[in-house]
């Protein structure tokens, strides 16, 4: 009977431990609550992240649209500036279109031909030929070229009557995209001679 009594006592102890475990579990309920709160916070953070991502995409597409509109507006403004320069230079004596190599009258018996412009250092270099259509030979002839609000004077040593002489002028501070129209004007000559025939 001692054996049976011992078994019964062990059964009572095991039953008491089971009851104690139910009322005082070894894993606290606080841990379950913390896990559930962590999951709720995690799901909330993911939802907020998704919402922010969708807003970010919306803002990015709006920014891209605005950048395109600003670019279009900038192009329109640039075109208007070019047109204004063209009108201003077209109304002035000696106006030239540097994109065409044809002969262009610059006044005072001179013409410009084979005009071209290229980017050079911090500005542009304008090349061409000046034609003397007067009956006089000219020496030390001073001309003024104007492009995009910048001017530069240059001298050609001699142009005989009915002939032409090449020139190349560097104009600093002029962007290449603002050099379609300009003026080339005769200023003065150091010596004028009648051509003996």
Say whether both 57 and 118 belong to one domain: no
Total domains in the fold of the chain = 2
Say whether both 39 and 113 belong to one domain: no
Q: What are phi and psi of 163, to 5 degrees?
A: -115, 175
191: left (phi over 0), alpha (psi -120 to 50) or beta: beta
Residue 161 clears pLDDT 90, i.e. is over it? yes
Say whether both 104 and 176 belong to one domain: yes
Say whether both 86 and 127 belong to one domain: no
Q: pLDDT band for 124, please (50, 70, 90 cuts).
A: very high
Of 43, 76, 91, the one marking the end of a domain is 91
Q: How far apart are CA 154 and CA 166, in angstroms?
A: 12
Residue 2 clears pLDDT 50, i.e. is over it? no
Say whether both 109 and 160 belong to one domain: yes
- In the numeric block, which tokens belong to residue 123? 């500005």
Of 39, 56, 91, the one marking the end of a domain is 91
Domain span at residue 48?
A: 1-91
Q: How far apart are CA 132 and CA 159, in angstroms?
A: 6
Say whether both 75 and 6 belong to one domain: yes
DSSP assigned state of 109: T
**What CATH code is carried by the domain that includes residue 164?**
2.60.40.1620
Full strand arrangement of the beta sheet holding 110-120: 104-107, 110-120, 123-132, 164-172
Q: How far apart are CA 27 and CA 49, in angstroms?
A: 33
Looking at residue 87, what is its pLDDT?
Answer: 64
- In the numeric block, which tokens belong to residue 141? 């002839």
Say whether both 178 and 120 belong to one domain: yes
Say whether both 80 and 7 belong to one domain: yes
Closest alpha carbon to 132 in 107, 102, 96: 107
Looking at residue 122, what is its pLDDT?
Answer: 94
Q: Which residues pair with 97 in a beta bridge?
A: 181
Segment 81-93, tens digit of pLDDT: 767 766 666 667 8
Of 49, 68, 91, the one marking the end of a domain is 91
Global confidence as pTM: 0.57
Say whether both 83 and 123 belong to one domain: no
Q: How far apart are CA 130 and CA 57, in angstroms?
A: 60
């Amino acid at each position: 009977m001692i054996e049976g009594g011992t078994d019964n006592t062990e059964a009572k102890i095991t039953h008491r431990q089971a009851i104690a475990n139910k009322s005082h579990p070894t894993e606290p309920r606080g841990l379950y609550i913390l896990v559930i709160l962590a999951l709720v916070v995690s799901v909330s953070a993911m939802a907020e992240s998704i919402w922010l991502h969708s807003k970010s995409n919306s803002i990015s597409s709006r920014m891209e649209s605005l950048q395109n509109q600003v670019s279009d507006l900038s192009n329109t403004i640039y075109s208007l500036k070019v047109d204004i320069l063209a009108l201003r230079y077209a109304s002035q004596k000696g106006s030239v279109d540097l994109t065409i190599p044809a002969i262009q009258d610059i006044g005072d018996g001179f013409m410009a031909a084979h005009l071209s412009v290229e980017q050079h250092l911090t500005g542009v270099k304008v090349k061409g030929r000046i034609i003397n259509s007067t009956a006089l030979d000219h020496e030390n002839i001073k001309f003024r070229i104007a492009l995009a609000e910048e001017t530069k004077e240059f001298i050609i040593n001699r142009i005989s009557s009915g002939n032409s002489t090449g020139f190349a002028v560097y104009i600093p501070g002029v962007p290449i995209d603002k050099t379609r129209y300009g003026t080339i004007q005769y200023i003065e000559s150091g010596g004028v001679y009648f051509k003996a025939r």
